[in-house]
Every structure is written in structure tokens, then in C-alpha cells.
Structure 1
Amino acid sequence: MANKAIITVNLTSEQVKQYYMGQKNRVQAYTDDGQSISVPYDILLEFVSHQGIYGRFEIRYDDGGKFQGISRIS
């Protein structure tokens, strides 16, 4: 059974550039219920635009915390 977390990500193009250049590799975000979550930047790559990465995302993971998938929900 997959668990899920809903997060909001707001990264400017300058912030995304830091990840691209390898200066950072994890994105710190908060779930809708206020929990802090750290996700690998590479799972967000498909959502990069010229403006950066903006939106709400559903992250799915298994009972052991292993990443299963991500989708943009808004």
C-alpha cells in the first residue's frame, strides 16, 4: 500500500540553478499537515520550467519510505 504526502514547492529559476549545478541535492518542503519533508531534487526534474518549479505535488512512497511516484496536483 502506498502512502502519500502533499507538498507545495516554490523554487525560482535561480534556486533551481543551484540544484542543477550540484550545490544542493535535496528540497526541503512542508506537507499540508505541517510536517517537514526532504525530497531528492531529481524527482522534481520533470516539473522544471523557465520560471523554476512551482506547484502542489503528491508524493507516493511505500511503508518503508521508499519513493514510488510523484504527480503535480495544481
Structure 2
Amino acid sequence: MAKLVLNVALPAFKYEAMYAGTAKKLVATSLDGRKVQLPLSAFQRFVTHQGIYGFFEVEFDEKNKLVGVTQVS
């Protein structure tokens, strides 16, 4: 399985766009330079009052389908 590490800095007001229906994807660049597009819903459990901030490990299966997201320190 493939894994990427992302440094995400998404303020709360931008995440709220998902609830308004105007945003559904997070586009980010991994630490190794690959660009990835993921559903914002995959990060829902990491939302705080400030938004989504931190390093996240994203895991994909052999067909490049999202398996899971975990926050790393």
C-alpha cells in the first residue's frame, strides 16, 4: 500500500465551505512533492475550532483508492 505525508493548514472558514456545498476536495502537495486531491470528509474527525492543521499520513490501496488518514506528530 502506498502512503503519503501531508502538511495540512486549512482554516476553519475554508472547511465550512464543505457544509455550504462549495468545497468537497482538499488539494495538497505531499512532503515528497506529489500533488493529491482528497475528499474533505476524510479529514472531518481532525477538525478543531481553528480548522485542520498538522501532518497527516494518507494511505492508498493498490488501485490508488483512499484507505485511511491518520494524524502524525
Q: How far 1:63 moved relative to its partner?
A: 1.1
What RMSD over aligned residues (CA atoms) do the two structures have, in Å? Answer: 0.8
Distance in 2 (CA, whole Å) between partners of 1:13 and 1:36 is 22
Distance in 2 (CA, whole Å) between partners of 1:65 and 1:21 is 28
Instruction: Tell me the TM-score normalized by structure 1.
Output: 0.93
Say how many residue pairs are matched.
73
Tell me the residue number matched to 1:7.
6
Stretches of structure 2 that go unaligned for 5 or more consecutive residues are none
2:70 partner letter: S
Q: How far 1:26 moved relative to its partner?
A: 0.3
Off by >6 Å, runs of 4+ in structure 1: none
Q: How far 1:20 moved relative to its partner?
A: 2.0
Q: How far 1:68 moved relative to its partner?
A: 1.0
Instruction: Tell me the TM-score normalized by structure 2.
Output: 0.94
Distance in 2 (CA, whole Å) between partners of 1:16 and 1:24 is 8
Distance in 2 (CA, whole Å) between partners of 1:41 and 1:13 is 12
Tell me the residue number matched to 1:49.
48
Aligned runs of 1:1-74 on 2, under 5 Å? 2-74=1-73
Distance in 1 (CA, whole Å) between partners of 2:26 and 2:18 is 9
Q: How far 1:8 moved relative to its partner?
A: 1.1
Q: How far 1:21 moved relative to its partner?
A: 1.4
